[in-house]
Amino acid sequence: MSQPLLKVENLTKLFPVSKGFLRTPTDFIHAVDGINFEIQPGESLGLVGESGCGKSTTGRMLVKLMEASSGHVLMSDKTHTDDLIDIANIPNDQMKRFRRRVQMIFQDPYESMNPRRTVFETVSEPLTVQNIGSLKEREERVSEMLRLVGLAPPDAFLFRYPHELSGGQRQRVAIARALVLDPSFVVADEPTSMLDVSIRISIMDLMLKLADEFDVSYLYITHDLAVARYMCDRIAVMYLGKIVEIGDTEEILGNPQHPYTKALLSAVPVPDPSFKREEVEILGGITKAINPPSECRFIERCPWAKDVCRTSDHPPLEDKGDGHYVACHLVESALTSA
């Protein structure tokens, strides 16, 4: 197996819940609770789950917009290819170098851009910060990026402000800004969920094309399994801070094993009225992981829960064959195809 681009080990984020007069934190929300995964160079991993499952928190920790409570995010270092370095240990004076390699695209193209900056200022900002090139070279680079993201001719867009652009065009600018430094890893947090259907596909196609051209890996955060299927090589399903299932996209969608994945998949509306879905009923609604008990996180909603689930700790992710990992006591190893 080749060296992964990114390796996440026991990554955890706890948010304190303050109560009482002294506001001393008494409880903790386990937003992300000891997750592990790897991303290979050039591979895209989809992180799916419902609101509040910790997928955005994970994404933010990977680009160091948020410090982890514990655990490690290890990245391969381009200059010393053998070593993985822990991003938490990167000294402040080397953070700039880290940021050249890791970028983020946000959900809301209306909020992630400074309204008082032109497209040129927005896209050239990373180059300015990194001290790359002369003004002339930056201009050329920005024009080239705009052309690549489909804002052509660039001259028509360079000096526009965000309010003069449509939602789709803004997201194109956000993509240009994220890729202008030629990063190797980009966290994309629901980049198309605010866009209309017809525009969504062109942005998704653009991101796929650029992933190829720039040899970039995405962590693609989405609540939409159909979108994850279109964009990602592998999918990780999160539930209340835990990854409950991870594997190749078609394998997860075609042969889901974890009860939560099954329920999630069966609830996705299908644009085909003649399609009969399998009904998987799960109990109750999503809660918050405030000081969660040690047993399986999904136990309260799981219709198949058995004694072993109540008496053991939250099950670890186990390889059930062909890199299909499931965290459930009830799933036999050696998967049989459903």
User: Which residues form the interface with other proteins (CB under 8 A)?
Assistant: 50-51, 166, 168, 196-202, 204-205, 223-227, 229-230, 250, 253, 263-275, 282, 285-286
CB of 99 to other proteins, least distance (A): 32
CB of 4 to other proteins, least distance (A): 25
CB of 285 to other proteins, least distance (A): 6
CB of 143 to other proteins, least distance (A): 22
Q: Which is nearer to other proteins, 38 or 224 (CB)?
A: 224
Q: Which is nearer to other proteins, 95 or 270 (CB)?
A: 270
Q: Which is nearer to other proteins, 103 or 169 (CB)?
A: 169
Tokens coding 173: 């600018």
Q: Which is nearer to other proteins, 153 or 316 (CB)?
A: 153
Q: Which is nearer to other proteins, 130 or 193 (CB)?
A: 193
CB of 277 to other proteins, least distance (A): 9
CB of 72 to other proteins, least distance (A): 30
Q: Which is nearer to other proteins, 181 or 206 (CB)?
A: 206
